[in-house]
Every structure is written in C-alpha cells, then in structure tokens.
Amino acid sequence: MPGGGGIRVQGQTPKEKSLTRQSIGILSAAALIALALPVGQLFAQTQVPAAPDAAAQQGGDVSAPAPAGAPAFPAPDPANFTAASPTKETVNAFLNANWGYDSDRIWQVQAILKTQVDGVTKVVVFVGDKTGKQQPTVLQFFALADGKHIISGDSVVPFGDKPFADLRATMQQKADGPYRGSPSKDLELVEFADLQCPHCKEAQANMDKLAVDFPKARIVTQLDPLASIHPEAEHATQFAICANKMGASTAFFQFVSAVFDGQDGLATADGATLTLNSAATKAGLDPVKLAACAADKAVIDQVKANEALADSIGINEVPTLVVNGRSIPANIPYEVLKKIVEFQAKLDGITL
C-alpha cells in the first residue's frame, strides 16, 4: 500500500503522468506520517461516530474534556459478516503487514459484507491509536474475487496475508541497478529516484543512514527519470549508467552523489553539461568518454527500460523505496523509515 512521488493514470499524456507523480507523491508522504498508511494510498475514510456520553445523558457537567486514551470501538455485529471471503483473519493479517510497525495503531474489523457484484466484498474497519491523539476513523475498501487485490479509492492495492510477496519477487528478478551493501537479496531495498528531483536529493540522507544501520541489506539504486518535468533527468541518467559501466558501482555512487550536490546546475542545458562533466571528474572518470558512452543507443534504451519497469510495477512516485516488495516514500522521517524496514525484515523472518 505505500509510495513517494505521484500516481500514473491511464489515458494521461506522459507530461500529465509525471506531474501527477511528483505532486501527489508529496501528499502521499504527508498522509503516511499523519495516518500511518504505509504505501501512501488512502482508504475511504469517515470519522467514527462518538459513543453517547453518559454524563450528558444524565444531565451532568460535560465541559471538561475526556482523558486521552485508546478508543472503545463498538462490538461488531455478527449480522455484518455476510461474506465468506476474505476472512477476518486475512484482513487482520493484511492490516498488520501494513500497520504493524506502528505500536500505537489499533483497529477492529467491523464488517465483511457481500455486495451486488459476485465475488466483490466490502470491508469496514475501525481504526484508532492507543494514545487517543488521533480521531478514530472508519476505513472501507472492496476486496476482489482473486483474493490478491482490493480497490481503495481509485487505486488497486495488493491484498492478502502477505501482500508484498509478488512485488518482492519481481524486484529480486528485475531490479538491476547498482547496489551497495550485501549481495544477498534477502533484505532488498530498491530506491526509485530521479537525479533532477529535489525530494530525491533530500532522500539521500535517509539512504546513507539505511546503509549504515542495515549492513545486511542490499540497497539498489534504480534511476527513474521524469523527463517531462525534469528535462535533463534522462541525460543525467545516461551518464550515471555509463559511470557504472566504466567505473563499476563505486564510480556510479560517487557520480550520483556529485550530481545531487550540484543539482541546481541541471536547470539549464549548459548548466547540465558543466554539472555532469564535473561529476564525472569527481568520480575519477573522463567526461569526454562518459559523454560518448551516454550517447550510445543501448544506454538510451536502458533508461527507457528503467522507466518501463517503474510503470509496470506501479511505482507512482519518486523517491520511492521498495523494501522487500513494500513501497514507501524514501523521504519520510528517518525514524519512521527505519521502523518500517525493521518490521518488514521481521515479517520476512530476517535476522538483522
């Protein structure tokens, strides 16, 4: 259920897709922090109606606020469980996979209802937090007949007791960018980033901390340029691919770091040339040879392949970090990011 930079919508032009990816991604990251929705995708929500106040019913003084604490959800009505699938256990496992990293988050499955469409089930969940700081909400989504997807708002989201397994397998097979850390893919963190994206630049501090805190992780950089709003991003990606070809992963990461440091220079074509040449030199590479490599059709095709991979797996936002198949914004506060990585590793039986 998580992302970090926008939503691709069928029927949009490439420019519209890219604009959406960037702008909505910022909102998604904020939503993740405020509502603890780990993929940045919101369920339909309404407030849980407040329970009748006993003091008010008896004519007592209700001017003093009630002490904060965990909400008391009303008991589920068995009559609201009319569908055989998904089971309450599956829904709880799905929600735990998404929200279990947050020790304050609590929820209660309130209804699993048949709909007028055969195989489509409406699920209603009450959600709150133990501290009482957040207003309890009602979350609603529709589970599909395949048992592996739900419809939440206008998004199709992976579902089940292990909702991230399929994307994890795809990433292990297809994420071919340079990596740092462990060669093992048991704990694989794949960052989708655009070299001209300011939020991606900001996310690099998180990525560096992850490399220190999770030495057993394989941290892959999968460059995904948004060319329609970042005109020099594809060009910069071509240079980065060639840095990897000519100097291996060490030169790649030195080059990428230097480009992010000089990112303002990518605002113009002339500035981009200077920035990329300077980054090449800092990575110990010959700028002339790197430029010749970047112009090769095979390199240009590889950039397109990176973009196609992001599209094919529903990476809607940059910077997005895929943690063993779980997509989250890479630029959220580090303490939350670290907690999610630790929790996902635990779910997957990985000893850190």
Chunked mean pLDDT (size 10), the chain, 352 residues:
34 36 32 34 44 42 56 94 97 96 95 96 95 89 96 91 96 97 97 97 98 98 93 97 97 98 96 97 97 97 96 90 97 97 97 93
pLDDT at 316: 77
| Block residue for tokens 């800092």 | 282
State the pLDDT at residue 68. 66
pLDDT of amino acid 70: 85
Helix, strand, coil tally for the chain in percent (to 5): 45, 20, 40
Contact 28, 332 (CB under 8 A): no
Q: Which of 88, 92, 151 is nearest to 117 (CA)?
A: 151
Asked if residue 325 lies in contact with residue 168, where contact means CB atoms within 8 angstroms, the answer is yes
Domain with CATH 3.40.30.10 in the chain: 166-347
3-state secondary structure of 105: strand
Closest CA to 196 of 35, 105, 318: 318
Instruction: Please state the pTM of the whole predicted model.
Output: 0.82
Class of the CATH domain delimited by 166-347: alpha beta
Between CA 142 and CA 132 the distance in angstroms is 27
Element (H, E) at 281: helix 269-282
- What is the spatial distance between Cα 303 and Cα 297, in angstroms, rounded to a whole number? 10
